[in-house]
Copies of this chain bind each other. A is one copy, B any other.
Amino acid sequence: MKSFVDLRKKQELPSPRELESLTNICFENKEVLNPKKDAEEVKKLFPHTCGMPLLKAVEKKAKSHKALKVGVVFSGGQASGGHNVIVGLHTGLHQLHSQSQLIGFLDGPSGITKGKYKELKVDELDGYKNTGGFNLLGSGRDKIETQEQLSSALQVVKDLSLDGLVIIGGDDSNTNAAVLAEYFLSHGCETKVVGVPKTIDGDLKNEWVEISFGFDTACRTYSEMIGNIQRDALSAKKYTHFIKLMGRSASHIALECSLLTHPNFVMISEEIEKNKTSLQQIVSELTEMIIKRSKNEKNYSVILIPEGVIEFIPEMKELINALNKLLVDKKILSKESLEQSLNKESYKTFQTLPESIQEQLLLDRDPHGNVQVSHIQTEKLFIEMVRKQLEIKKFEGAFSPVAHFFGYEGRSGFPSNFDAMYCLALGKTAAALISNGASGYMAAIKNLSQDVSSWEIFGVPITSLMNMETRKGKSKPVIKKALVDLGGKAFQFFASQRVSWQVEDNYLLPGPMQFFGPPLTDQQRSPSLLLEK
């Protein structure tokens, strides 16, 4: 009998047919992909890597390849499956040539500029297969942007004679991969740069990236807990659970978790912004639901709140902007001074907020001196405002709110079987792209809702995913963050169901992820991936 970890580490998972052996595939050039927006500007900034063709993997007769030396780095927050990208990359490189070498840069992109790395050998990698976290190498949030950083990176990859560099990261890190690819090419450096789409937030998503890795595992981890809490709510019949979910600006995680669990109420930030729903309207909707359920003897409910919702509520956004402007001049704002300094609307908004949230807005600063939006305890904001509203409505039922925040526990769990397979395939794809001389490309796999054997393997020019956006006052080329598509099938399905979820208890209880037993219908693929296929 083996332990869980030992069995999981040794578990063999199926691979897409085309990736079974990298010696048997090559990439065909397909149509040229240009940015859909701001193509001219992007082209100017990326003369070597803009306007490249889509690459599609196809089978060919086996041929011999040369040994490759490739570097790899984790960039940004953890996402489950990262270790499998590296295992897949290593496997792929060694399929191409047994003398290939894999270099892991330590602690994120700064490992590249500072030349901090270690060679990764199969013995060490064996201990990381199918495990979560990025602890094999560590990670970091630094970027390689300044001329100094770019030239240090160039020197390091030259000194190491790297044939390729794989950057595992989110939208900004993949933008960074494109910048590096362009920089290397324009300096006559042979190192190919390839990006791999990672983020639990799900906001790196487009025609070519059906889903970013880590999203599935994070949502299943949160949903296991949401399901447990729903079962508890059904049994205890007396708590109203306000569950805030990690996920930055976009509400992908909240939407996916709601498809996995069918809670009573879910806020979708993108919808709130589109409909210009006010804070008071959300609170009223919640309050009405609580009253209605209480009349049906249901003094319990489960409510999901996306982490970034506050910035999508119009008057909160205005208030935060106004406070940030005031903070440019003053370091400390007093409550008393606000009546004069804020406009009427924003002052009114401020006054409706619970005291603890007011204090947070006035005192908590990020390193740039701005309001620390991510620290605002939205779950408590809603609890306090709903409580007040229930009092106004002379609610006679019971209201026992419980606040939860699910975050870090979802970033580094053992990857779901989907993420584990997807990441092995992404790593192999990155190896194949480098071997084929592609630079400035992202490893992309399509047809993910289907059986692994029929997944389709692509290389996508990263520049084709870019547009120009203003960041910190400057126009910059970036990969557009994907918010929840309110016209998309996943949201539409949710929208068609949610009214009944408010009244009835249609809770789904997904249970813990199962890795070893028979395949389970509901644990194969992300529900939004299936709906949107």
Query: What is the interface of chain A, defined by CB distance below 8 A to chain B?
Result: 1-5, 7-8, 77-78, 107, 131-135, 138-139, 221, 224-225, 227-229, 231-232, 234-237, 239, 241, 402, 404-405, 408-414, 509-523
Contact = CB atoms under 8 A, between A and B. Distances in A.
Contacts of A131: 231, 509
B237 A413 contact: no
A231 to B, nearest CB: 4
B520 A7 contact: yes
Contact of A516 (B237, B510, B514, B521): B514
B235 A412 contact: yes
Contacts of A511: 4-5, 8, 413-414, 515
A518 B408 contact: no
Contacts of A410: 228
Given A229-B409, A231-B135, A408-B232, A518 B414 contact: no
Contacts of A236: 77-78, 139
A507 to B, nearest CB: 10
B221 A228 contact: yes
A7 B521 CA distance: 10
A133 B236 CA distance: 9
Contacts of A8: 511
Smallest CB-CB A-B distances: 4 pairs: A516-B517, A512-B512, A133-B231, A232-B412
Nearest to A227: B413
A234 to B, nearest CB: 4
A228 B520 contact: no
A523 B510 CA distance: 20
A351 to B, nearest CB: 22
A97 to B, nearest CB: 30
A107 B299 CA distance: 14
A2 B408 contact: no
Contact of A408 (B4, B221, B402): B402
A509 B78 CA distance: 16
A477 to B, nearest CB: 28
A32 to B, nearest CB: 38
Contact of A225 (B3, B78, B225): B225
A234 B133 CA distance: 8
Contacts of A509: 5, 131-132, 414
B516 A135 contact: no
Please indicate which of the listed interface residues A134, A224, A232, A510 has the most CB atoms of chain B within 10 Å of its own CB: A232
B139 A235 contact: yes
Given A232-B133, A232-B411, A234-B133, A1 B515 contact: no
A210 B56 CA distance: 61
Nearest to A220: B512
B133 A413 contact: no
Contacts of A408: 228-229, 232, 239, 241, 402
B520 A517 contact: no
A297 to B, nearest CB: 10
A245 to B, nearest CB: 13
